[in-house]
């Protein structure tokens, strides 16, 4: 199998599955329970939080556990907007955010908030000048994705943070779900107040994520109940999943340190050789993230090409897995200025540190074969 859909989800490490099963079987008690078994589960929860805080170079109190990237983004965006609405109701984001962010902003617009959607250039990057002009005394939140999930565009996060803090009182949220471990980002150096992550993007399990939150930032809770996660996110903690997430993050960072150069090598090969295949047009900038490559194939429906490659046990995707079954054209590609027809035929491949040299070579060969076959059938 050649799996090139890692931005949709990654394969869990075996050690992560083992950790989950051990905790689920032996430490299944509710960590809020007062008895000894509850105390054992609570200690594992504290240890996982400490491990994650050390890996991400943040304080223990800055780690908030969630169910994944979607909840982290919703909690950050809606939580800030509702908490600070007495200061103002103006919010800023970009035109190429993940659906979980875009839909959050649309919902806030429905209840009276004003949202500025910053345009992007052909590289998928916003303009710092546009951001500066958009900031007002009423702006309470700027939410920007670090690495775009469809085209791999990297935003100038440090410059963005600097402008926000110099020119406004707005809270700065970063969706770093796609960037972690592949495009460096230090919570303490980018002037961010909130950062979203999802475990299944770094070989953890689905249903677990986290939100890094600076101590001075208050959030309006979206889930009410028992007051878990410092009353920010109520609900019994998924201790097995959280322990597994801590294990995944440690293993992932170890692998990243050893194999980071391989991603750049594979990306260069793909970016150089894909345009040489007839009918292929590269949509990803050469300055984008090393693990996400987007291209279009003229005249071939992407779902047809996906299923043709699937026959060879090769797995790619169209766009975000959250949106891939929708019929709308990619809002990311059209926002970046690509024609609608090109956006409709886009394919995304996304690498992991488990990808190999042989897999890249086989993919390129089979892609060319698949395109030739489909073009012949369509004549």
* pLDDT tens column, 49-68: 999 999 999 999 999 999 99
Residue 263's domain is classified under what CATH number?
Answer: 3.90.1150.10
223 lies in the same domain as 240: yes
pLDDT per residue over 139-171, tens digit each?
A: 999 999 999 999 999 999 999 999 999 999 999
3-state secondary structure string across 148-160:
CCCCCCECCHHHH
Cross-sheet strand order for the sheet of 90-94: 63-66, 209-213, 194-198, 171-175, 139-145, 90-94, 114-118
> Of 217, 251, 285, at which residue does a domain stop?
251
Tell me the C-alpha to C-alpha distance, in Å, between residue 101 and each of 150, 312, 320, 333.
14, 35, 13, 17
> Which of 251, 284, 300 corresponds to the end of one domain?
251
Rounded Cα distance between 241 and 104, Å, is 26
- Locate 48 and state its tokens: 């996982």
Residue numbers of the chain with a pLDDT score lower than 70? 319-327, 377-379
- Closest C-alpha among 6, 27, 54, 88 to residue 240: 27
Give the end of a domain, one of 223, 251, 279. Answer: 251
Q: Are residues 278 and 158 in the same domain?
A: no
Looking at the structure, do residues 235 and 340 belong to the same domain, yes or no? no
Domain at 103, CATH number:
3.40.640.10
Question: For position 378, what pLDDT does the model report?
Answer: 60
Place of tokens 């949709």: 8
pLDDT attached to residue 322: 56
Q: How far apart are CA 232 and CA 235, in angstroms?
A: 10
Judgement on whether residues 239 and 302 belong to the same structural domain of the protein: no
Contact predicate 328/150, CB 8 Å? no
Statement to judge: residues 277 and 231 lie in one domain: no
| Same domain assignment for residues 235 and 321 | no
Which value, to the nearest 10 degrees, does the dihedral of the CA atoms of residues 335, 337, 342, 348 take? -60
Q: Name the residues annotated as catalytic.
A: 322
Domain count, the chain: 2
Give φ, ψ of 369 to 5 degrees. Answer: -65, -45
DSSP string covering 125-191: -B-HHHHHHH--TTEEEEEEESB-TTT--B--HHHHHHHHHHH---EEEEE-TTTTTTS---TTTTT
Tell me if residue 282 falls in helix, strand or coil.
strand
Q: Does 127 share its domain with 89?
A: yes
> Do 18 and 137 fall within a single domain?
yes
pLDDT at site 320:
54
Q: In which domain, by residue range, is 165 found?
A: 14-251
Are residue 243 and residue 287 in the same domain, yes or no? no
């Amino acid at each position: 199998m050649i799996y090139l859909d890692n931005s949709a989800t990654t394969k869990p490490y075996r050690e992560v599955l083992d950790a989950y099963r051990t905790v689920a079987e032996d430490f299944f008690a509710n960590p809020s329970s007062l008895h000894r078994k509850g105390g054992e589960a609570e200690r594992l929860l504290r240890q996982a939080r400490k491990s994650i805080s050390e890996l991400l170079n943040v304080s223990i109190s800055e780690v908030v556990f969630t169910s994944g990237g979607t909840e982290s983004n919703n909690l950050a965006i809606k939580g800030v907007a509702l908490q600070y609405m007495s200061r103002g109701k103006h919010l800023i984001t970009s035109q190429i955010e993940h659906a979980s962010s875009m839909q959050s902003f649309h919902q806030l617009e429905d209840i009276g908030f004003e949202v500025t959607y910053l345009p992007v250039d052909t590289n998928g990057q916003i303009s710092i000048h546009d951001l500066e002009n958009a900031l007002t005394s009423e702006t309470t939140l700027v939410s920007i994705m670090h690495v775009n999930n469809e085209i791999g565009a990297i935003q100038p996060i440090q410059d963005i943070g600097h402008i926000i803090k110099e020119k406004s009182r707005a809270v700065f949220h970063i969706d770093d779900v796609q960037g972690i471990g592949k495009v460096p980002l230090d919570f303490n150096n980018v002037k961010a107040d909130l950062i979203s992550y999802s475990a299944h993007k770094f070989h953890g399990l689905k249903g677990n994520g986290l939100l890094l939150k600076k101590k001075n930032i208050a959030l309006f809770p979206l889930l009410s109940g028992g007051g878990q996660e410092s009353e920010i996110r109520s609900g019994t903690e998924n201790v097995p999943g959280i322990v597994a997430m801590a294990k995944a993050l440690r293993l992932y960072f170890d692998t990243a340190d050893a194999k980071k150069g391989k991603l750049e090598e594979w990306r260069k090969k793909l970016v150089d050789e894909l345009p040489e295949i007839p009918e292929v047009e590269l949509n990803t900038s050469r300055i984008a993230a090393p693990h996400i490559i987007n291209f279009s194939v003229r005249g071939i429906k992407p779902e047809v090409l996906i299923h043709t490659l699937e026959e060879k046990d090769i797995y790619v995707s169209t766009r975000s897995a959250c949106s891939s079954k929708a019929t709308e054209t990619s809002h990311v590609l059209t926002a970046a200025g690509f024609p609608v027809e090109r956006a409709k035929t886009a394919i995304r491949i996304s690498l992991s540190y488990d990808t190999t040299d042989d897999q890249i070579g086989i993919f390129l060969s089979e892609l060319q074969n698949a395109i030739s076959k489909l073009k012949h059938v369509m004549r």
